[in-house]
Amino acid sequence: MPQVLSHRQLSDIAATFGTPVYIYHAERITEQYNLLKDAFRNVDTTFFYACKALTNINILKHIKSIGCNVDCSSVNEVQLALMAGFPPEKILYTSNNISFAEIETAKELGVHINIDSLSNLEKFGKKYGHSYPIGIRLRPNIMAGGNLKISTGHDKSKFGIPLEDINKVLGLMKDTNLNIRTLHIHTGSEIKDVEVFAKGIEVLFGLVHHFPDLKVIDLGGGLKVPYMPGEMGTDIRALGAKVAEEFIGFEKSTGRKLEIWFEPGKFMVSEAGYLVTSVNVIKQSGDIRFAGVDSGLNHLIRPMFYGAYHHIENISNSDGKMLTYNVVGNICETDTFADNRLISEIREGDYLVFYNAGAYGMEMASNYNSRFKPAEVLVKNNTSVLIRRRETLQDILHTQILAAD
């Protein structure tokens, strides 16, 4: 059974550090990483944690301490990874629609780079030729992922170089002597079906013979974790077995041994995170019972933005009578976390916990309505440490400049 923080532990942390508070469980992250390593033990696989899911530097340091690499989506994330102590060779930068200047900065920092446009590929080739190995992000025209907003590999997607342009890539490789070491795809987030990954592998295997310098197939992220009670995530063992079968078979038939890279975000941190809020107001309106919490779309936007399900429990009254609630936020917009949800009886002042809050929770938080972002606490070795203090009005004013009247 995976490790979880108990209601008691969560309430104690909320009482100590106040709410709203994001709580992360280091050992749970380690557990997820170990699952991956174990499932892929038969093939040469390296995992780069997609840190866009959660970048608190203490989380990055923990990820480093367990031996996992890191995948970044901006040069700022690359800088954070360096500050957390990752050496450049353990950092991957998978860019999307960025300026060539940012790619040059990443190159100066010495990290692995996946380039996702023909124009940047051409500039890179002209400037660096064969001297610096790179990856290319391809759009494999595969529809996958939990919903359209988080699907990235289909034929209308902005991501990657369309497969139809492969001849242009080959032309650039010839003309500028590009050193293409990696073929990358990332088809979407929350991909449950192992066959989707198999399809991606098949597309890439069909291209390998064009690339004499190729050493790595990077399959991106997108592993699904369960959000609803009873729901299943990606079968990691089945995926590991399938990938091993494909790559071992490919090596036998072509003599080419390739490394496999993955960039898991949600899989690493989603279940390790909890958002604990306090109930400000209970409001009855006709049949609807509203529980209004001291949080909102400014702290956890996933339910409103993607229609995502986050399981909610009342940790102050775990054994109370089950009643249906609309759990809503305190932002001046309709920020509904959950509709018609069965939760043990909620009283004003109770603590509600939102599960699966580790990935894309705090990371997508904002100061909308000039409200403060939550504090963050890391639980490691049974000790709770504040890793981001609560904000003050000064923080909100910090970058503003009072113009002369």
Interacting residue ranges for ligand LLP, rule: CB under 6 A? 50, 53, 71, 94, 150, 186, 189, 220-223, 263-267, 302, 306, 359-360
**Active site members:** 332
Length of the chain: 405
**Torsion angle defined by CA atoms of residues 166, 170, 175 and 176, in that order, rounded to the nearest 10 degrees:** 90
Read off the tokens for 210.
């064009």
Report residue 361: phi and psi, to 5°.
-100, -85
Nearer CB in complex with ligand LLP: 23/269:
269
> Minimal distance in Å, beta carbon 71 to ligand LLP?
6
Nearer CB in complex with ligand LLP: 32/179:
32
Q: How far apart, in whole angstroms, are the C-alpha atoms of residue 196 and residue 242? A: 11
Nearer CB in complex with ligand LLP: 218/376:
218
Q: How far apart, in whole angstroms, are the C-alpha atoms of residue 79 and residue 99? A: 17
Read off the tokens for 287.
């049949």
Q: How far apart, in whole angstroms, are the C-alpha atoms of residue 321 and residue 332? A: 30
> Minimal distance in Å, beta carbon 147 to ligand LLP?
8
> Minimal distance in Å, beta carbon 324 to ligand LLP?
26
Instruction: Give the DSSP letter string of 21-64.
Output: EEEEEHHHHHHHHHHHHHHTTTS-EEEEEEGGG---HHHHHHHH
Nearer CB in complex with ligand LLP: 19/152:
152
Nearer CB in complex with ligand LLP: 265/292:
265
Which residue's Cβ has the minimum distance to ligand LLP? 265
DSSP-based three-state secondary structure for 329:
coil
> Minimal distance in Å, beta carbon 50 to ligand LLP?
3
Reported as type and span, the H/E element at residue 304 is helix 302-306
- Torsion region of 336: left, alpha or beta (phi above 0 gives left; psi -120 to 50 gives alpha): beta
Q: How far apart, in whole angstroms, are the C-alpha atoms of residue 226 and residue 2? A: 12
Per-residue DSSP letter, 74: S
Nearer CB in complex with ligand LLP: 211/261:
261
Instruction: Give the DSSP letter string of 215-273.
Output: -EEE----B----STT-----HHHHHHHHHHHHHHHHHHH----EEEE--SHHHHGGGE
Look up residue 183 and give its amino acid. L
Nearer CB in complex with ligand LLP: 17/48:
48
